[in-house]
Chains A and B, each alone.
Chain A
């Protein structure tokens, strides 16, 4: 078997198994650490697709930022205060319905769509340089707007966290 395929299945198994545990485990900390594995698996897929930069950004933003903050928040509240954070099951019937429909649609499209495996792939964007050029030429407006949104979020967070002065 091809090394590429072996690696693909390795990452696929990691992603699927850990994602399964994220939703089924009752311990929030376990869910968070399993989510880390899931995000790692997805980063592995990006690497296999030749998108190194996206994989690294995935690690920095999701594992290094969001996930650490999440664990941080759970740790600050769980076990220190008396309330235990446990995840359980709620609204079984509507939940099952929605998930079932969505899964049906996804599996249906997967099976019905024709995969153009032999079709020539578009030339890959050359990593960092390509992304940088695109951001500064074609997508400048989006880039700027995103920057502004992030700035607003930062200022908002700072003003919420600030001590109220009378």
Chain B
């Protein structure tokens, strides 16, 4: 664990006691941000390129080779923008909301294991913690929508809150299903257990062995699809993007935001996309584990293994982010009633039935 090595390092620098643990905890909590910001810059670029190529366009081409510096140019532009606060807006809440949105999505990274040597917090209840802390994001959206004092913002915020709260239920039921099989809620423990090879991943019935492993495969597949759909809805991406539907609501809850505050919402959205992808991959696709063995273990270089794990973690996360983009530029948006029907009439009953079957199989 990186935290322990940090404590050791500080002891070597003759810093001990509460100061050492405070400093180590602070440095430990900085790592995800070092990961998220480059990721967000890359993902914005990827989004524009993916959408462009799906629509037979070229996308950004002017800044750098094939436009790869476009995101940096965008950031420079956003920094220079005037910070506009509407006259009738509620200044306090208007300014707090973007920060709260990012805090909510960043806090989720505390429970996501990046490699076998790095996880922000060793909490046992990792995945449930993520579900709980995501309620901060809902609060921040409501705050932004209300403080903007704009009917489009308010409508967007209301839609988004209703959507996120509804889709939390199938997510939690799928998590319960997995709890039934694995007996752990810690994403770190779960990722550690899915080691070995690709057939130990939860999507292939997990690492338990026995005949249940094979019987579980179809139900794990159903669970994975439900989890992916409902987490997609929780990050407000198309086809579930009615909270910020461009053609109806301008931009939903962040209509009134400009410059860096808008960038904060954007960063929070991309951080959320990655967090959700990381959760899906940690629950069903082995997390940071390689689908086959490690080069580091083969050559006997143990320090190589965490880097390989980081590589696989990033690759799996990027793959699911790509799938999210792919869906966004292929599918039309759902109507509000279709959205609610989808959740309450299809996803929840199917996920509960799935849960009961899995529980029955595990009890046999």
The residues of A with any CB-CB pair to B shorter than 8 Å are: 1-3, 6, 29-30, 33, 36, 52-53, 56-57, 59-60, 63-65, 67-68, 71-72, 75-76, 79, 127-128
Contact = CB atoms under 8 A, between A and B. Distances in A.
A71 B154 CA distance: 12
Residue among B93, B146, B162 with most chain A CB within 10 A = B146
Contacts of B18: 1-3, 6
B81 to A, nearest CB: 27
B161 A72 contact: yes
The 8 A-B residue pairs with the shortest CB-CB distance, nearest first, are: A64-B135, A59-B132, A3-B18, A60-B132, A56-B132, A63-B135, A71-B142, A56-B128
Given A29-B146, A64-B165, A75-B158, 13 more contacts: A2-B18, A3-B21, A29-B90, A33-B139, A52-B125, A56-B125, A56-B128, A56-B129, A64-B168, A65-B165, A67-B139, A75-B145, A75-B154
B133 interface: yes
Chain A residues touching B, majority SS:
helix
B142 A59 contact: no
Nearest to B146: A75
Chain B, interface residues (CB within 8 Å), range: 20 to 34
Interface in B189-204: none
A154 B117 CA distance: 45
B250 interface: no
Contact of A72 (B90, B158, B185): B158
B138 interface: yes
A59 B135 contact: yes
B172 to A, nearest CB: 9
A75 B142 contact: yes
Contacts of A59: 132-133, 135
Contacts, number: 70
A2 B22 CA distance: 10
B131 A76 contact: no
Majority SS at the chain B contact face: helix
A71 B157 CA distance: 11
A84 to B, nearest CB: 14
B131 to A, nearest CB: 7
A68 B142 contact: yes
Interface in B79-94: 90, 92-93
A2 B93 CA distance: 34
A1 B161 CA distance: 42
A65 B165 CA distance: 8
Contact of B135 (A6, A52, A68): A68
Contacts of B215: none
Nearest to B136: A63
Contacts of B168: 64
B343 interface: no
Contacts of B90: 29
Interface in B142-160: 142-143, 145-146, 149, 154, 157-158
Contacts of B124: 52, 127-128
A52 B143 CA distance: 27
23 contacts: A2-B18, A3-B18, A3-B21, A29-B90, A30-B92, A30-B93, A52-B123, A52-B125, A56-B132, A59-B133, A60-B128, A60-B132, A63-B136, A64-B135, A64-B165, A64-B168, A68-B165, A72-B142, A72-B158, A72-B162, A75-B145, A75-B158, A128-B185
Contacts of B132: 56-57, 59-60, 63-64
A151 to B, nearest CB: 14
A36 B125 contact: no
Interface string B162-186: 1001001000000000000000010
Contacts of A60: 128, 131-132, 135
Nearest to A6: B18
A41 B244 CA distance: 32
Contacts of A53: 125
